[in-house]
C-alpha cells in the first residue's frame, strides 16, 4: 500500500517537459545531418590509366578512373595539350559508351540473307579463318586492290592505314577526307604547299580577330577549340561569324552575317576586294612570301561589296565593315579553316579564297595568326616496304608527303578506283567514289569491303546506292562496337573492344608543341571482343603478312617505338601519359628555309597547277542550285553532346539529347501551319522520306533553309536508344556534287519539304 | 433493470466497440506512417511509396468513423457529441481536483455522469483536432500543388500540431486506461459495477432509474 | 569561410559538358540530370541576341527547401545546400517550394545537386568545374569568388554593358554566384526570389522539434507516472474492498453498496 506522490508543481512539470521536448527534437536533426554513403571514388582503390578519347576523332588526352575492374569516370588529362584537364560532353559519355548494353559481344558469321541481320556466334578462330579465306580468294581472282577498306574513329590506323598498305590496296578511305576535310586540305596544299593539319593552327593566345565561315563552335563541341575560342574572345578578340543560322557561335559574335547558303565565295572575294582597295593587307608580307598578287588584284577589281551584296543578301556596309575589322588587325587576324567543308561541290575554290585572305592578312607564321604545325618525331616500328603507299588521309592526318602526279599502284598494277586524276584532281581517297565500282565494276571490280567503325548507311550520301553495292559485293567484313545499321549486311562481324579496354597505336599530334599520346587499357575487353590491333595482326598472319606483324605483343610494338624517343609505356605513364616536343610555329623558326612547300616555295595566290589543270587559278564565284518552290535547302550540323552518327545510342548522351529537331524559320513554319514541337516528316525531290522529327520553329534561321543535327533517324533494331529517333539527313541525300579539285562530296544541294506521315 | 452481467454493467455496445477499433487502428497506422514522413530514421519507409499509400488508406478509415457512428448507432453518436460539450458544476469541481485522479485516486472526486469531465474534454479535443487534421490532410492530399510555399508550411504545421495534440491525447488515453484497468470496457463492453459506482455514480443512478422505469411495478 | 561556385555566363558556350560530367560522376539514373542548358533567343531575324540559361541549384543561404524539409534530409553545409537522400521521405515539399524550380523527384526521393559534397570533402572539385572547357565554372571561398565575379563584370562591360553579378544578396546570398551578361529576366532567372516564408521557419525550427520532443517526453513521463498511479489506484480499491468486507462482517446494518 505504498503511496508515492510526486512532489512537484504543475508549472515545474510542464517547464521540464518543454525543455526536454526541445532537446530531443533538436537531437533528431543531427542524426539526419550525415553525408550519404561514400561514393565510388571513396571506396576501394582508384586506378588511373591514360588514354586518348575515342568519342570523336579529336583524341583529347584523358585520365580514366576505375575501381575493382569497373571504369567509372573519364576526365581530361591535365598534362595533355589538347584537353588540358578539361573534357567535352561526348568525352564524359565515354564510360556510358563502353557499358552500352547493345554492344556487339561475339564474332558472328551470317546465316540469313544480306540485310536480314541473321547471324550465328562463332569463335575468333573461325571468324578469322573464314575472313582470311574470303579475302585471299578475292586477291586470287581480282588482285589485292579489289578489297576496299573504309575506316574511321581513333582506331582506324590498323585496318585503313597499316593493313591496307601491307596488303596492297590503294582503295582505303576515311569519311573524314572526301566527306569532310578534302576541299580544305587540298586548297591549303595548293596555296601553301601543306594541308591544314588535324589541329587548325590558329594562334589563339594572341589573335585579335577570328572569322568563322559556318564553323559552329559550341554546337561543334571540340574541346580545345571551345577553350581557345572562349579565352580569345574573353581577351577581347573580335569575332565574325558567317552562317545562315544564328548558331551558338553567332550568339557569341561581334558580327553575324546571315549569309544566303552557297554564296560564301562571293563574300570572300568581296573581302579580298576591300582589303586590297583600302590597303588593309600586309603588303610587305605578300611581297616577301607570296606570288600572284598582281593577278589577284586585277581579278577582284569589280568584285565589290555591292556586287557581293546582291548575291549574298548581306548589306554591303556589313561586308565592308567586317573586312575592315579583319584588315585593321592584321597579322593577328585570320579566318578559321573549319573542318567539314564539303558543301556545294565547288568547295576547294571557296577554301582557296579563305587561305588567300589569311595570306593577305599576313597570318601564316606570325604571332596571333596561323602558326605552322610540326609533327612529333618518333620512329615507326620497322616493317618491310608497304605493297602500296596509302592515301586514306583523315582527321588527324599528318601533313603529308609530296603528292606526286602518279597515283601509287597496287601489286597488280592498279591505282585507286575512286576516279582520282579523272573526275577530280588530287587529294585523299574519296570513299564515296568507291561505291560505284562495287556496283558496275568500273574501272575494275571491287569485290570485297572491310568497314571499320564507319556508320556506313548514316554517313555516305546516297544510301540506297550503298545498299545496292552491299548486295553485289562478294565479301563484307564489319568491325564495330555497336550493331549499326550496316551490320545486318555483313558476312562476318568482328566485335571490337572499346578504347577504354585496349592498347592502341600511339597518337602523334602535329601542333605548336608536337606531342605523343598513349592508349592503355583501364580494364580487359568485355564479352568476347578484341582490340583492332589484334584483329589486324591475327588476320595479317593468316594472309601472308607475317613480316608486317613481327612483334609478339602490342606492348613490344609500342615500347619499341617509344624507345626511339627515350621512353617506354611505363615511363610515359609515369610522366602523365603525354610526351611533348618542341615545335616550329613561326617564320623566325625557319631561318632561310621556306615553310611553304609549293612548287615556287611561296604562297601561291595564283595557282599554276590549277591553271594547268583547266581550273580557275584564282577563285571565281559560281552560283549553286536554288531550292524549288515549296522546298528548303537541307543544312546539317552538330549538337554538343553527339558525334556524327556514332553516339546516338550511348545511354547517357541519348538521355540528354535523344532526337534531333528541325530548325525552321518561325514565320515559314507558321505559314505551313506548324508550331514548335509538331512532329513532321521530310521528303526530298526524289521522294525519299525520313522522320518523324519535331519542329523547332525559331527566328534563328533564314527562310530558305532548314537545319538538323546529323546522325539521327537511324534504323537498326539492335540500337535501343537510336533506333527510329529523329530524322536522317543522310537519307535525304539522294545526290551530291563532286568537287572536281579535291573529290569532296558537296552534300548541301539536297532540298526537302515538310510532309505529314511516313 | 440495468444491463448487467452479474455484477458487470454494459458500458459500450458492440457497434461502439467496433467503431472505436476502427478509429484506434487507423489512427495508429496514421501516426506511424505520418512519422515516417517527418522523422529521418524512418524516412526509408516513406520514400518510394508504400507507407504513403497506407497513410491515405488509413485516413479513409479514420474519416469514416463519424459516418459509421451515425449509420450504425445514431443515438450513440448524438449522445457522445452532446455529452462531451456539456459541463456542469460537478465537472468544474472535478477539474479542480483532477490531480488526485491523475495519481490514481477516485476518493473525494465529485460525482460524475457516464463520461467524467476528463473524458468529456478528451472527446471534444479529439473531435476538434481530428477535424483540423482531416481538413489539412485533405488539402495536402488533393490540393498540395496549388499551395504557395507559405500556405504549404501553414497547412503542414496545423497538421503537425493537430498530430501533437492527438498524440498527447492518446498518451493520456492509454495512461488512464492502464491506471484504471479499463481495457475490458472496449474489449468486452462490460465493466465492474463497483468501479462505476465509484467513478460514474450519476450514470449508475440514471441506469437504475431507467431500469426502474422499465420494470413493471 | 563558406564555399561557392562561380558561373560566368559570358564564357558558357552551352556545350553541356557539365551536364554529362555530373550525370556520370554522380551516377545519375536515366531521365535525371542536375544541370540543364536552356537556349534563349530574343529579337527577330536577323536582329537577334541569344544565350543560355545554365539551370542548376543556386544553393541559397535562405534556403526554402531546407526550411520545408520535414526530415532534415536537406541541410546547409559550408554555404551549400546538401541532400542526404537516405534521410529523404519523398514528401515533395522541396520540389514545390523552391523559387528556382530545382529539386525533382527521382526514384521516390528528392534529387538535386549537392555540390559534389563527397568529392570536395575528399579534396577534389565538383565534376562540372573540373570539366568545363570554357573555364566558366570555379569553386572556392565565397569571398574570393564574389571578388572575382565583380572583376569579371568589369572585364566584360565592354561587350556587355548590362553585365552584373547575380547571387550576392538574392535568397540571403547564393552559393552559386553568376556573372550575367544581362538582367536575370533575359535568362528566365527570377530577379529576386521570395524569402523563405516565416511559417516554414517557424515550423522547422520550433513546431517540429517541440512536437517530437514533447511527445517523447509525454510518453516517458506518463509511463513512469502510470506505474505509480496504477499502484495507488489498486491500493485504493483494496482499501475500499477491505472496508466493505469489514462492514459486511460487522453486520451493522450499514447498507452495502450492492444492496438494491
Residue A642, domain CATH: 2.40.40.20
Q: Is some CB atom of chain B closer than 8 A to the CB atom of A1?
A: no
Same domain, A337 and A392: no
Cα angle A681, A687, A693 (rounded to 5 degrees) comes to 15
Asked whether residue A103 is domain-assigned, the answer is no
Tell me yes or no: is domain B4-214 CATH 1.20.950.20.
yes
> Exposure pattern of C63-101 as b/e (b: 16+ CB <10 Å)?
bbbbbbbbbbbbbbebbbbbbbbbbbbbbbbbbbbbbbe
Do A700 and A738 lie in one domain? The reply is: yes
Q: Are A659 and A724 a contacting pair, CB within 8 Å?
A: no
Cα separation of A54 and A135, whole Å?
28
Of A6, A10, A28, the CB nearest to B39: A28
What is the mean predicted confidence (pLDDT) over C213-234? 89
Query: What is the domain range of residue A720?
Result: 632-755
Residues A353 and A379 in one domain: no
Rounded to an integer, the average pLDDT of A396-424 is: 79
- Chain A contact for C217 (CB, 8 A cutoff): yes
Q: Is the pLDDT of residue A84 over 70?
A: yes
Q: What is the pLDDT of residue C246?
A: 76
Condensed to tens digits (0 to 9), the pLDDT of residues A161-170 reads: 999 999 999 9
Q: How confident is the model at residue A199 (pLDDT cuts 50, 70, 90)?
A: confident
Q: Please identify which residue in the block is written with the cell numbers 528541325.
A: A662
For the segment C188-202, the average pLDDT, to the nearest whole number, is: 93
Q: What is the average pLDDT across C236-242?
A: 81
Same domain, A321 and A445: no
Locate the chain C residue with the closest alpha carbon to B166. C215
Same domain, A361 and A381: no
How would you class C192 by CB atoms within 10 Å of its CB: exposed for 0-12, middle for 13-18, buried for 19 or more?
exposed
With cut-offs at 50, 70 and 90, classify the pLDDT of residue B157: very high
Residues A343, A335: contact at Cβ < 8 Å? no
Q: Is residue A585 part of a domain?
A: no
Give mean pLDDT, residues A192-209.
92
Write out pLDDT tens, residues A641-665. Answer: 999 999 999 999 999 999 999 999 9
Average pLDDT over residues A344-351: 97
pLDDT at C255: 52
Structure-block grid coordinates of residue B135: 481538413
Touching subunits for chain C (3+ Cβ pairs under 8 A):
A, B
Residues 6+ apart with CB under 8 A from B202: B90, B111, B112, B113
In a domain, residue A618? The reply is no
C135-144, pLDDT tens digit by residue? 999 999 999 9
Average pLDDT over residues A256-262: 98
Same domain, A330 and A429: no
The pLDDT value given to residue A544: 97
Q: Do A86 and C131 touch (CB under 8 A)?
A: yes
CATH number at residue A596: 3.40.228.10
Rounded to the nearest angstrom, the minimum Cα separation between A38 and chain C is 7
Q: Across the interface, do C214 and A37 touch by the CB < 8 Å criterion?
A: no
Contacts of C68 in chain B (CB under 8 A): 149, 152-153, 156
Residue C73 and residue A32 in contact, taking contact as beta carbons nearer than 8 Å = yes
Q: Domain holding A505: CATH number?
A: 3.40.50.740
Distance of CA A595 to the CA centre of its chain: 27
Q: Please determine, for residue C31, whether its predicted confidence score (pLDDT) is greater than 50.
A: yes
Tell whether A396 is covered by a domain.
yes
Which of B4, B34, B46, B47 to substitute to test the interface with C, most C CBs within 10 Å? B47
Which of B36, B40, B95 is the best mutation test for A, with the most CBs of A within 10 A?
Answer: B40
Per-residue confidence band for A39, with pLDDT thresholds at 50, 70 and 90 = low
Of A98-102, A347-351, A593-597, C120-124, least confident by mean pLDDT is C120-124
Cell 512532329, residue located: A679
Residue A435: HSE in the Cβ half-sphere, 13 Å Cα cutoff: 21
Regarding whether A137 and A260 lie in a shared domain, the answer is no
For chain B, the structural domain boundaries read 4-214
Out of A257-261, B24-28, B114-118, C170-174, pick the least confident. B114-118
Q: What is the mean pLDDT of residues C52-69?
A: 95
Which residue of C17, C134, C205 is the best one to mutate when testing the A interface, meaning the one whose CB has the most A CBs within 10 A?
A: C17
**Chain A nearest-CA residue for B39:** A28
CB–CB of A5 and B103 under 8 A?
A: yes
Q: Which residues, 6+ apart, have CB-to-CB distance to B217 below 8 Å?
A: none
On average, the pLDDT of chain A sits at 93
ipTM: 0.92
Chains near A with 3+ CB pairs less than 8 A apart are B, C
Q: Which residue of B has its CA nearest to A5?
A: B103
B150 vs C87, C199, C222: nearest CB:
C199
**Could B48 and C108 be called an inter-chain contact, meaning their C-beta atoms sit closer than 8 Å?**
yes
Percent of chain A with pLDDT over 70: 93
- Answer yes or no: are the C-beta atoms of A388 and A170 closer than 8 Å: yes
Residue B4 has pLDDT above 70, yes or no: no
Q: Do B40 and A32 touch (CB under 8 A)?
A: yes
Same-domain pairing of A327 and A263: yes
| Residues within 8 A of A (CB atoms), C 164-193 only | none
Q: What is the mean pLDDT of chain C?
A: 91
Q: Where is the domain boundary, A580, A602, A623?
A: A580
Nearest residue on chain A to B40, judged by CA atoms? A32
Average pLDDT over residues C184-196: 94
pLDDT at B183: 87
CATH of the domain at A71: 2.20.25.90
pLDDT of residue A404: 60
**Domain count for chain A:** 4
Q: Is residue A400 part of a domain?
A: yes
Give chain B positions within 8 Å (CB) of A5.
103
Q: What's the confidence (pLDDT) of residue A34?
A: 45
A185 belongs to a structural domain: no
Query: Is residue A5 over pLDDT 50?
Result: no
Report the residue from B42, B144, B179 with minimal CB separation from C229: B179
Using a pLDDT cut of 90, give the percent of chain A over it.
90
CA distance A603 to A273: 19
Phi, psi at residue B182, to the nearest 5°? -95, 10
Position A12 pLDDT exceeds 60: no
pLDDT at A402 over 60: no
Residue B170 has pLDDT above 70, yes or no: yes
The answer to whether A408 and A415 are in contact (CB under 8 A) is: yes
Segment B91-110 mean pLDDT = 88
Both A253 and A346 in a single domain? yes
Instruction: Based on the fold, state whether residues A291 and A387 are members of the same structural domain.
Output: no
A642 torsion bin: left (phi>0), alpha (psi -120 to 50), beta (else):
beta
Strand partners, C107: none
Query: Which of B36, B96, B97, B103 is the best residue to mutate to test the A interface, defined by the most A CB atoms within 10 Å of its own CB?
Result: B103
Which residue carries 586524276 as its cell? A421
The chain B residue lying nearest A25, using CA atoms, is: B39
Report pTM. 0.91
- A189 or B105: which carries more pLDDT confidence? A189
Q: Residue A403: its pLDDT value, please?
A: 53
3-state secondary structure of B200: coil
Chain C partners of A655 at a C-beta cutoff of 8 Å?
23, 30-31, 33
pLDDT band per the 50, 70, 90 thresholds, residue B180:
confident
**Is the Cβ pair B41, A31 closer than 8 Å?**
yes
For the cut 50, the answer to whether the pLDDT of residue A395 exceeds it is: yes
C positions 10-69 inside 8 Å of A (CB): 10-11, 13-17, 19-21, 23-27, 30-31, 33, 41, 43-46, 48-51
Closest chain C residue to A702 measured between Cα atoms? C45
- Domain assignment present for residue A192? The answer is no
Angle between helices B14-38 and B50-72 (to 10 degrees): 160
Q: Which residue has the cell 571490337?
A: A496
Interface test with B, best of A1, A24, A28 (most B CBs within 10 A): A28
Q: Which three cell numbers stand for residue A380?
A: 615507326
Is A107 in a helix, a strand, or coil? Answer: coil
Contact (Cβ atoms closer than 8 angstroms) between residue A507 and residue A559: no
Question: Is A466 part of any domain?
Answer: yes
Instruction: Tell me the average pLDDT across C223-247.
Output: 84
Residues A359 and A212 reside in one and the same domain: yes
- Of residues A696, A700, A694, A704, the one with CA closest to residue A753: A704
d(CA A92, nearest CA chain C) in Å: 5
Which residue among C84, C108, C219 sits closest to B49, beta carbon to beta carbon?
C108
- If asked whether residues A368 and A383 sit together in one domain, one would say no
Q: Span A521-549, mean pLDDT? A: 97
Reading phi first (left if > 0) and then psi (alpha if -120 to 50, else beta), residue A59 is in: left
Residue A349 CA to residue B124 CA, distance in Å, equals: 94
Minimal C-alpha gap between B12 and chain A (Å) = 32
Answer whether residue A41 shows pLDDT above 90: no
Amino acid at each position: 500500500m505504498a503511496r508515492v506522490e510526486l512532489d512537484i508543481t504543475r508549472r515545474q512539470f510542464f517547464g521540464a517537459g518543454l525543455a526536454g521536448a526541445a532537446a530531443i527534437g533538436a537531437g533528431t536533426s543531427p542524426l539526419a545531418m550525415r553525408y550519404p554513403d561514400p561514393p565510388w571514388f571513396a571506396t576501394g582503390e582508384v586506378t588511373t590509366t591514360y588514354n586518348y578519347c575515342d568519342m570523336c576523332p579529336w583524341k583529347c588526352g584523358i585520365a580514366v578512373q576505375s575501381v575493382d575492374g569497373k571504369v567509372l569516370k573519364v576526365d581530361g588529362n591535365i598534362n595533355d595539350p589538347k584537353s588540358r584537364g578539361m573534357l567535352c560532353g561526348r568525352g564524359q559519355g565515354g564510360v556510358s559508351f563502353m557499358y552500352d548494353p547493345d554492344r556487339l559481344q561475339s564474332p558472328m558469321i551470317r546465316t540469313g540473307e544480306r540485310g536480314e541481320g541473321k547471324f550465328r556466334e562463332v569463335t575468333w578462330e573461325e571468324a578469322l579463318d573464314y575472313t582470311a579465306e574470303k579475302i585471299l580468294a578475292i586477291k586470287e581472282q581480282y588482285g589485292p586492290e579489289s578489297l576496299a577498306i573504309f575506316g574511321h574513329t581513333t582506331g582506324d590506323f590498323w585496318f585503313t592505314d597499316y593493313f591496307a598498305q601491307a596488303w596492297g590496296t590503294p582503295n582505303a578511305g576515311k569519311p573524314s577526307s572526301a566527306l569532310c576535310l578534302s576541299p580544305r586540305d587540298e586548297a591549303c596544299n595548293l596555296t601553301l604547299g601543306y594541308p591544314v593539319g588535324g589541329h587548325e593552327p590558329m594562334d589563339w593566345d594572341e589573335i585579335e580577330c577570328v572569322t568563322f565561315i559556318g564553323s559552329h563552335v559550341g554546337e561543334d563541341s571540340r574541346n580545345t577549340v571551345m577553350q581557345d575560342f572562349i579565352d580569345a574572345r574573353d581577351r577581347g578578340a573580335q569575332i565574325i561569324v558567317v552562317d545562315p543560322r544564328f548558331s551558338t557561335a553567332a550568339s557569341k559574335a561581334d558580327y553575324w552575317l546571315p549569309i544566303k547558303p552557297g554564296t560564301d565565295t562571293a563574300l570572300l572575294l568581296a573581302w579580298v576586294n576591300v582589303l586590297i582597295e583600302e590597303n588593309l593587307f600586309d603588303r610587305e608580307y605578300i611581297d616577301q612570301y607570296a606570288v600572284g598578287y598582281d593577278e589577284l588584284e586585277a581579278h577582284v577589281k569589280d568584285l565589290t561589296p555591292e556586287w557581293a551584296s546582291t548575291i549574298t543578301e548581306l548589306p554591303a556596309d556589313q561586308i565592308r565593315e567586317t573586312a575592315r575589322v579583319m584588315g585593321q588587325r592584321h597579322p593577328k587576324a585570320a579566318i578559321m579553316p573549319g573542318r567539314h567543308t564539303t558543301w556545294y561541290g565547288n568547295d576547294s575554290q571557296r577554301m582557296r579564297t579563305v587561305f588567300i585572305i589569311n595570306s593577305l592578312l599576313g597570318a601564316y607564321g606570325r604571332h596571333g595568326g596561323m602558326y605552322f604545325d610540326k609533327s612529333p618525331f618518333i620512329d615507326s616500328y620497322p616493317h618491310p616496304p608497304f605493297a602500296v603507299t596509302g592515301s586514306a588521309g583523315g582527321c588527324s592526318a599528318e601533313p603529308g608527303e609530296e603528292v606526286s602526279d602518279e597515283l601509287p599502284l597496287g601489286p597488280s598494277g592498279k591505282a585507286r578506283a575512286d576516279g582520282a586524276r579523272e573526275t577530280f584532281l588530287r587529294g585523299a581517297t574519296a570513299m564515296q567514289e568507291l561505291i560505284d565500282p562495287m556496283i558496275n565494276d568500273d574501272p575494275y571490280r571491287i569485290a570485297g569491303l572491310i568497314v571499320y567503325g564507319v556508320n556506313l548507311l548514316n554517313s555516305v550520301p546516297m544510301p540506297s546506292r550503298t545498299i545496292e553495292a552491299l548486295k553485289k559485293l562478294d565479301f563484307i567484313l564489319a568491325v564495330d562496337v555497336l550493331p549499326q545499321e550496316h551490320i545486318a549486311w555483313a558476312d562476318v562481324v568482328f566485335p571490337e573492344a572499346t578504347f577504354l579496354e585496349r592498347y592502341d597505336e600511339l597518337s602523334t599530334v602535329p601542333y605548336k608543341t608536337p606531342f605523343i599520346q598513349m592508349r592503355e587499357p583501364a580494364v580487359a575487353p568485355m564479352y568476347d571482343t578484341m582490340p583492332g590491333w589484334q584483329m589486324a595482326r591475327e588476320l595479317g598472319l593468316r594472309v601472308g603478312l607475317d613480316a608486317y606483324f613481327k612483334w609478339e605483343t602490342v606492348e613490344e610494338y609500342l615500347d619499341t617505338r617509344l624507345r626511339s624517343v627515350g621512353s617506354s609505356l611505363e615511363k610515359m605513364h609515369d610522366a602523365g601519359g603525354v610526351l611533348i616536343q618542341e615545335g616550329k610555329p613561326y617564320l623566325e623558326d625557319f631561318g632561310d628555309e621556306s615553310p611553304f612547300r609549293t612548287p615556287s616555295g611561296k604562297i601561291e595566290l595564283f595557282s599554276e597547277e590549277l591553271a594547268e589543270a583547266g581550273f580557275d587559278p584564282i577563285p571565281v564565284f559560281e552560283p549553286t542550285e536554288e531550292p524549288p518552290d515549296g522546298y528548303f535547302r537541307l543544312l546539317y550540323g552538330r549538337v554538343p553532346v553527339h558525334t556524327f552518327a556514332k553516339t546516338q545510342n550511348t545511354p547517357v548522351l541519348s538521355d540528354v539529347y535523344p532526337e534531333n529537331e528541325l530548325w525552321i524559320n518561325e514565320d515559314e513554319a507558321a505559314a505551313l501551319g506548324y508550331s514548335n514541337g509538331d512532329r513532321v516528316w521530310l521528303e526530298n525531290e526524289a521522294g525519299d522520306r525520313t522522320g518523324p522529327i519535331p519542329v523547332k520553329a525559331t527566328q534563328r534561321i533564314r527562310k530558305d533553309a532548314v537545319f538538323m543535327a546529323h546522325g539521327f533517324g537511324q534504323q537498326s533494331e539492335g540500337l535501343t536508344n537510336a533506333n527510329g529517333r529523329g530524322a536522317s539527313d543522310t537519307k535525304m541525300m539522294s545526290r551530291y556534287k563532286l568537287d572536281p579539285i579535291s573529290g569532296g562530296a558537296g552534300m548541301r544541294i539536297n532540298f526537302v519539304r515538310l510532309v505529314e506521315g511516313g | 433493470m440495468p444491463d448487467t452481467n452479474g455484477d458487470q454493467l454494459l458500458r459500450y455496445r458492440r457497434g461502439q466497440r467496433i467503431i472505436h477499433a476502427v478509429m484506434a487502428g487507423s489512427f495508429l497506422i496514421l501516426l506511424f506512417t505520418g512519422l515516417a514522413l517527418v522523422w529521418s530514421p524512418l524516412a526509408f519507409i516513406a520514400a518510394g511509396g508504400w507507407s504513403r499509400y497506407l497513410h491515405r488508406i488509413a485516413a479513409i478509415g479514420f474519416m469514416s468513423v463519424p459516418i459509421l457512428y451515425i449509420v450504425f448507432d445514431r443515438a450513440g453518436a448524438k449522445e457522445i457529441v452532446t455529452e462531451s460539450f456539456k459541463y456542469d458544476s460537478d465537472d468544474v469541481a472535478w477539474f479542480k481536483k483532477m490531480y488526485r485522479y491523475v495519481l490514481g485516486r477516485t476518493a473525494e472526486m465529485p460525482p460524475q455522469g457516464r463520461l467524467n469531465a476528463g473524458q468529456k474534454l478528451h472527446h471534444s479535443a479529439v473531435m476538434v483536432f481530428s477535424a483540423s487534421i482531416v481538413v489539412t490532410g485533405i488539402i495536402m492530399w488533393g490540393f498540395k500543388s496549388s499551395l504557395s510555399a507559405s500556405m504549404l508550411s501553414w497547412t503542414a504545421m496545423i497538421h503537425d500540431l493537430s498530430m501533437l495534440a492527438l498524440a498527447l491525447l492518446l498518451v493520456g488515453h492509454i495512461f488512464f486506461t492502464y491506471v484504471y484497468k479499463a481495457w475490458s470496457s472496449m474489449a468486452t463492453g462490460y465493466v465492474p459495477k463497483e468501479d462505476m459506482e465509484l467513478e460514474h455514480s450519476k450514470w449508475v443512478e440514471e441506469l437504475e432509474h431507467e431500469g426502474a422505469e422499465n420494470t413493471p411495478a | 569561410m563558406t564555399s561557392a561556385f562561380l558561373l560566368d555566363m559570358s564564357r558558357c558556350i552551352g556545350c553541356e559538358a557539365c551536364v554529362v560530367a555530373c550525370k556520370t560522376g554522380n551516377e545519375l539514373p536515366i531521365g535525371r540530370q542536375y544541370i540543364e542548358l536552356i537556349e534563349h533567343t530574343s529579337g527577330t531575324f536577323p536582329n537577334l541576341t541569344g544565350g543560355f540559361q545554365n539551370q542548376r541549384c543556386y544553393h541559397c543561404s535562405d534556403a526554402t527547401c531546407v526550411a520545408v524539409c520535414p526530415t532534415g534530409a536537406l541541410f546547409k553545409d559550408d554555404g551549400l545546400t546538401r541532400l542526404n537522400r537516405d534521410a529523404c521521405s519523398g514528401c515533395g515539399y522541396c520540389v514545390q517550394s523552391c523559387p528556382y524550380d530545382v529539386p525533382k523527384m527521382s526514384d521516390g526521393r528528392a534529387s538535386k545537386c549537392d555540390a559534389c559534397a563527397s568529392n570536395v570533402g575528399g579534396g577534389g572539385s565538383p565534376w562540372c568545374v573540373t570539366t568545363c572547357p570554357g573555364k566558366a565554372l570555379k569553386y572556392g571561398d565565397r569571398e574570393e569568388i564574389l571578388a572575382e565575379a565583380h572583376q569579371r563584370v568589369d572585364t566584360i562591360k565592354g561587350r556587355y554593358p548590362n553585365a552584373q553579378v547575380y547571387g550576392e544578396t538574392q535568397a540571403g546570398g547564393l552559393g552559386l554566384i553568376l556573372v550575367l551578361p544581362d538582367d536575370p529576366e533575359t535568362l528566365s532567372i527570377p530577379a529576386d526570389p521570395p524569402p523563405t516564408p516565416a511559417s516554414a521557419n517557424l515550423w522547422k525550427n520550433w513546431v517540429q522539434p517541440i512536437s517530437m520532443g514533447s511527445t517523447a517526453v509525454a510518453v516517458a513521463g506518463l509511463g513512469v507516472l502510470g506505474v505509480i498511479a496504477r499502484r495507488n489506484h489498486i491500493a485504493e480499491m483494496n482499501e475500499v474492498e477491505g472496508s466493505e468486507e469489514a462492514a459486511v462482517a460487522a453486520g451493522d446494518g450499514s447498507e452495502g453498496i450492492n444492496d438494491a
